């Protein structure tokens, strides 16, 4: 049976993906695995916002996004991050194609809470057929975390949340949420496995804080909706912390 693997990588990953990363991708492909990449781009967005004098404001770890902020976000993700990633994949002999919400209604979403977050969205529909079409051409889709609402409004989406939504709709076997640490750390040690109950305990006792919270919540959401294994790690060559039921 063909394995479906979704990998979320950070926006700066284009310069940090190692030869071992691409060897793993190629080995998976030899076994007929179907792979999707979802990329972030927070640093690029912040840098471009600063250059264009757009205020940077985060609420609960989510970037407040004005209409001007959406335009800047699209410029950063679709004009800088995604082309750099596609080129990196090409240089490593892995054919890839860049996709976004405007590609045949790939990601449809709705506004989370406009008063609180502005034009930040949650994905409620994924055009999985388009992804399958790319796989049939032996291409790796590289997807930006943006959605379009039913009335045509572009929305900024947290990249972990976007990867989770795509993994759920594809009924993926594996979801890798790549981060800058090799897993979820407790008392200096990496947890090999994390269950919903353990995650709740660690959050309640403030052992898990900051940006790791939305990552773990995304991971829990994915496993509860049928993704077999979710890995929180810094590389696809290491399982990191496996989130499981």
In contact, 139 and 97? CB cutoff 8 Å: yes
Environment class of 82 (CB within 10 Å of its CB; exposed 0-12, middle 13-18, buried 19+): buried
Q: Give pLDDT, residue 218.
A: 87
Percent of the chain predicted with pLDDT > 90 = 76
Which of 4, 74, 168, 215 does the annotation list as catalytic? 215
The answer on pLDDT for 35 being more than 80 is yes
Q: Is 168 a catalytic residue?
A: no
Confidence class of residue 62 from pLDDT cuts 50, 70 and 90? confident
* 41 has binding-site annotation: yes
Given the structure tokens 């809470």, which residue do they identify? Answer: 113
Q: Give pLDDT, residue 240.
A: 92
* 63 has binding-site annotation: yes
Element (H, E) at 133: helix 128-136
Q: Is 160 a catalytic residue?
A: yes
Which of 10, 98, 160, 221 does the annotation list as catalytic? 160
Which of 4, 10, 40, 42 does the annotation list as catalytic? 42
Query: 81 is written with which tokens?
Result: 């991050």
Which of 10, 11, 98, 121 does the annotation list as catalytic? 11
Q: Is 215 a catalytic residue?
A: yes
**Cα separation values, 244 from 61, 214, 226, Å:** 24, 16, 10
Q: Give pLDDT, residue 182.
A: 86
**Cα distance between residue 136 and residue 152, in whole Å:** 29
Q: Is 10 a catalytic residue?
A: no
- Specify the range with the lowest mean pLDDT, choosing from 46-50, 65-69, 135-139, 217-221: 217-221
* 156 has binding-site annotation: yes
**Cα separation values, 23 from 88, 95, 185, 241, Å:** 13, 13, 27, 21
Q: Is 42 a catalytic residue?
A: yes
pTM of the predicted structure, to 2 decimals: 0.94
User: Mean pLDDT over all residues of the chain?
Assistant: 93
- Specify the range with the lowest mean pLDDT, choosing from 13-27, 38-52, 118-132: 13-27
The answer on pLDDT for 209 being more than 80 is no
């Amino acid at each position: 049976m063909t394995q479906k693997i979704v990998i979320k990588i950070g926006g700066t990953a284009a310069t940090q993906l190692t030869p071992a990363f691409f060897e793993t991708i190629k080995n998976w492909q030899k076994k007929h695995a179907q792979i999707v990449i979802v990329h972030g781009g927070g640093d690029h967005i912040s840098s471009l916002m600063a250059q264009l004098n757009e205020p940077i404001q985060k609420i609960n770890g989510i970037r407040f996004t004005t209409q001007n902020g959406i335009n800047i976000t699209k410029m950063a993700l679709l004009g800088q991050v995604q082309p750099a990633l596609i080129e990196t994949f090409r240089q490593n002999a892995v054919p890839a194609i860049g996709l976004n919400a405007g590609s045949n209604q790939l990601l449809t979403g709705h506004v989370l809470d406009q008063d609180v977050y502005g034009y930040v969205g949650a994905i409620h529909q994924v055009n999985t057929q388009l992804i399958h079409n790319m796989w049939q051409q032996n291409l790796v889709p590289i997807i930006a975390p943006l959605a379009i609402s039913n009335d045509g409004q572009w929305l900024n989406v947290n990249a972990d949340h976007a990867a989770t939504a795509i993994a759920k709709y594809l009924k993926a076997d594996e979801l890798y949420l790549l981060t800058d640490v090799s897993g979820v750390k407790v008392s200096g040690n990496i947890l090999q496995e994390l269950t919903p109950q353990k995650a709740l305990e660690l959050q309640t006792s403030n052992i898990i804080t900051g940006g790791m919270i939305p990552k773990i919540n995304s991971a829990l959401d994915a496993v509860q909706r049928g993704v077999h294994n979710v890995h929180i790690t810094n590389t696809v060559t290491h399982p990191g912390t496996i989130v499981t039921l």
